[in-house]
Structure 1
Amino acid sequence: MEKKENKNQKEITVGRALFGFFGPILVLVVLIAFGAEVTIAALAALFVMIVFCMYLGFDWNKIDGAMSEGVRQIATASMIMLLVGCMVAVWMSSGTIPTLLYYGMKIITPRLFLPICFILPAFMAVCAGTSWGSISTIGVVLCGMAEGLGIPVAMAAGAVISGAFFGDKMSPLSDTTLLAASSCEVPLFTHIKSMWYTTVPGTIICLVIYTILGMNASGQIDSAVVNELSNGLSSNFNISWIHIIPVALVLILSVKQVPAFIAFGVGIGSGIIWSMIFQGRGFIENLDYIMNGFSIESGVDSVDTLVNRGGFSSMLSLVGILLVLGMLSGLFSESGVLNVLVNHLSKKLNTPGTIMFGVWISSLIICLIGGQYPAIAIPAVAFKDVCDDMDIHRAVLSRTLEDVGTMVAAIIPWSAWVMGYGVVLGGITVQQFIPFTFLPMLCPIIGLINNFLGIGMYHSKDEVKYRPLWRRK
């Protein structure tokens, strides 16, 4: 949004910028810590930021315009979230998700279930370029199976989200991957090769941990529970491989980079058709499911718990949070708070390791409130010339921005998206699954260590190749 000069506006000093950034965040965190709903905490933070902008001398029209711009930027994401809720409901009605659950419980080895929960979503997210699409499709199925296999759903959800964010980070189709490469002016596959320095060790550690956890958790498996769930699904749904077609259609369209609106629309439409033809449910009945969520009384509590979910209305509270945070992000941008802080930080750092630490901490701070896109784009603009001056390849910059900006977004407790993962994956809370979401925790740590040790810290003119433990000289 174009900014107009106003003589009554106060200068954004570093001190004011610090207050303007940390004031709203402090209010948000304190209220959540005292038990307030995230929506109310975010709304309180928004009002603090409005008061701060008024103190700076912004008139109401500019404040209102900034909030509107923030909402506009997340409008598409909000609509996609609502579409996912609709699609989950209709895929339950059509028998698509019940079919995947039924067959999955027949073929997946329980002792290796958690590593599979990492690998399958990672594969799908790399193919489709979206973590959310992977989580809301195969992730729903895997977490449903975990419940039947006696494995804690929170563990499965953590593995699913970790795998999905592997794909979000590494896929050439991912919007964050494209954004990081383009913002830093790095060739796309050069950027991806650079990211192996943190992603490979992080993935190996994850697979080891999930294998150990899965082998221990698998001792709790009760075959009677699995049989009860399988029989309950087959008694209430027409189970057939043909019901997997709606999922396949969405994945194929995503791989072909068809817009998410269209891909999810096809998923919803095909689900309605499948429900009417194969499950005998009426058109109006499906419309009610799309709005209010799928619901049956199967006579088996575990089946009801598993399949009664989804719907447009199930996502409304999350979209409300997203809208409030979008307004807050718009005010941060309009006030210039973020730019002042990042620019000031970049001037205080004078070695390759400290420069990349500045990138790391800047991206982390911005991600905590602004989300993935500003956490990637703003530090990229602020630090790419600094990296050139310090003879640091910009692929190191783009890699660090993904290690932090992309990955940390998966484990921010007050994020509407992160809470949405819990809703979609079985009604679990962020406190339950975040401790098991290992890859988004590991990548920033490994990246920080690598940058200070000089591992993968290429000079500007170096050819970027993945050579484990290669160090800058």
Structure 2
Amino acid sequence: MHRQPRFIVALLPLISLVIVAALSIMVWNVSMFLPLMVGVIATCILGVTHGYTWDEMQQFMKDGVSRALPAVFILFIIGTIVGAWMLSGTIPTIIYYGLEFIKPSVFLPTVAITTGVVAISLGSSFTAIATVGLAFMAIGTGMGFPPAHTVGAIVSGAFFGDKISPLSDTTNVAPAMVGVKLFDHVRHMLWDTIPAFAISLILFWLLGRNVTADVTNTEKMNELADGLLQTFTIHPALLLLPIITILLILKRYPAIPSLVIVSTLGGIVAIIVQGNSVGDVMNAMTSGYQGNTDSETLNTLLSRGGITSMLNTIGLIIIATALGGVLEGTQVFTTLLEKLIAKIKSTGSLILTTVLSTLVVAYSSGEQFMSIILPSRALVDTYHEKGIDPKNLSRSVEAAGTVGINLVPWGVTAVFVSEVLQVSPYNFIPFIFFAYLVIAFNVFYGFTGFTITKLPNSK
């Protein structure tokens, strides 16, 4: 007979995960595979002691992993896009023009805004990060910016765009879970998204204002630009590939076929414009582009992409979603959420509980969709009972789930960003200003009542 774990018992797998994660980072200097496996094992032991069979545990893990399969396939395709777009000269062209025209004093705000616009257009933070984000990393290195600062601006912009894009999967899932219309949800999110992003831009400007185009940085920028010109044919026409990508998404073509098309086009451009062979294209798509310039710095920046570059990320995603599956199946999440819900006494505590429960799921599972779906299911009836419009719920879970997931070092998005941009999550997480601010605005609105809409006929 299945038994729901008590609150203290439900905390044990999470405590195990956090302890081993801390030791892995600060003492052993190893990746998050082991901590996540410890979390899975601890949860399975809990499940067995509460009446679940091993077959049921396996099914819970399968259910968790199956939710991630579409994202896994998209990551494979993104790997081919990065390799092909590097070889075709598309990303090098973005880097070159960025070095030529962007002023260091406004670099970080420009990064956030541009990445945000691309993410809104694509409805995908991952694609924006792996394309224009990758180019901005090279530009930032040339200008002398600390990589963590640049990543903070890239991620802030990408998830600002992802959060309010009607094309984004999370933007559609959150309102659907609570019975709110999509555009009512998007409009309501503007109250937290716009001020949080505006303040983020100011903070990025303050962070970058001390980086000036001194002699050393200018020489480095010139070195990178010269290396690009010597290695690639640089032309504005190569910017058509990202434009075609945006147009395909805006035309509502499915994401996977659209990404396959632009990856293939990148390979064709690499052959026609840059003079590469079919074998070169296949190698770049599989193993990534390998920089071959006179600049070691540029070679490091350009040597990215390929299916193989995504394998570590995908491995972590599989383990993290398996952990999420067993945590859900063994009712660990149910126990934790019930404990939080029991503390609700006011509108402010309701919004705070929404944010905290979403973050609990995020830190436990590392998975974005589960962070949105589980708190939405658990809390939607409470919102109706208290006469609070559920679009306040969908807004809060988007803030803490869609954006807040970036603050989880072992989360799917942080791992992806780390692998693509080659910066440790523990270095860039402090600089994702947008994530902290958008969560803070939701809690502030909850306790002040500002922008908190009521249901019709409620007191």
Tell me if both proteins adopt one fold, taking TM over 0.5 as the criterion.
yes
Letter in 1 for 2:160: F
Aligned counterparts, 1:378-457, within 5 A:
378-425=374-421, 427-457=422-452
CA distance in 1, matches of 2:26, 2:347: 37
Q: Is the Cα contact below 8 Å between 1:28 and 1:45 reproduced in 2?
A: no
Deviation at 1:33, TM superposition (A): 4.1
Query: Aligned with 1:218: secondary structure?
Result: coil
CA distance in 2, matches of 1:45, 1:376: 21
TM-score, normalising length from structure 2? 0.94
Q: Is the Cα contact below 8 Å between 1:25 and 1:369 reproduced in 2?
A: no
Q: Is the Cα contact below 8 Å between 1:21 and 1:332 reproduced in 2?
A: no
CA distance in 1, matches of 2:351, 2:397: 10
Residues 1:224 and 2:219 aligned together: yes
Matched with 2:266 is: 271
**1:69-100 Cα deviation digits (max 9, x unpaired):** 11111111112122212211111111111111
Letter in 1 for 2:11: L
Q: Is the Cα contact below 8 Å between 1:124 and 1:167 reproduced in 2?
A: yes
Q: Is the Cα contact below 8 Å between 1:28 and 1:44 reproduced in 2?
A: no
CA distance in 2, matches of 1:87, 1:122: 19
Query: Aligned with 2:210: secondary structure?
Result: helix
Aligned counterparts, 1:37-436, within 5 A:
37-220=31-214, 222-370=217-365, 371-425=367-421, 427-436=422-431
CA distance in 2, matches of 1:288, 1:33: 36
The answer for unaligned runs of 5 or more in structure 1 is 1-6, 464-472
Q: Is the Cα contact below 8 Å between 1:86 and 1:293 reproduced in 2?
A: yes
Q: Is the Cα contact below 8 Å between 1:356 and 1:397 reproduced in 2?
A: yes
Q: Is the Cα contact below 8 Å between 1:178 and 1:188 reproduced in 2?
A: yes
Deviation at 1:295, TM superposition (A): 0.9
Letter in 1 for 2:431: F
CA distance in 2, matches of 1:174, 1:227: 38
Query: Aligned with 1:186: secondary structure?
Result: coil
CA distance in 2, matches of 1:166, 1:398: 16
CA distance in 1, matches of 2:165, 2:293: 40
Aligned counterparts, 1:18-29, within 5 A:
18-29=11-22
CA distance in 2, matches of 1:254, 1:78: 19
CA distance in 2, matches of 1:344, 1:153: 40
Distance change in 2, residues 1:201/1:403 (3 Å): same
Q: Is the Cα contact below 8 Å between 1:321 and 1:416 reproduced in 2?
A: yes
Distance change in 2, residues 1:431/1:218 (3 Å): farther
The answer for unaligned runs of 5 or more in structure 2 is none
CA distance in 1, matches of 2:122, 2:411: 23
Q: Is the Cα contact below 8 Å between 2:343 and 2:349 reproduced in 1?
A: no
% identical aligned pairs: 29
TM-score, normalising length from structure 1? 0.92
Equivalent residues, number: 456
Query: Aligned with 2:289: secondary structure?
Result: coil
Letter in 2 for 1:336: Q
Alignment RMSD:
2.0
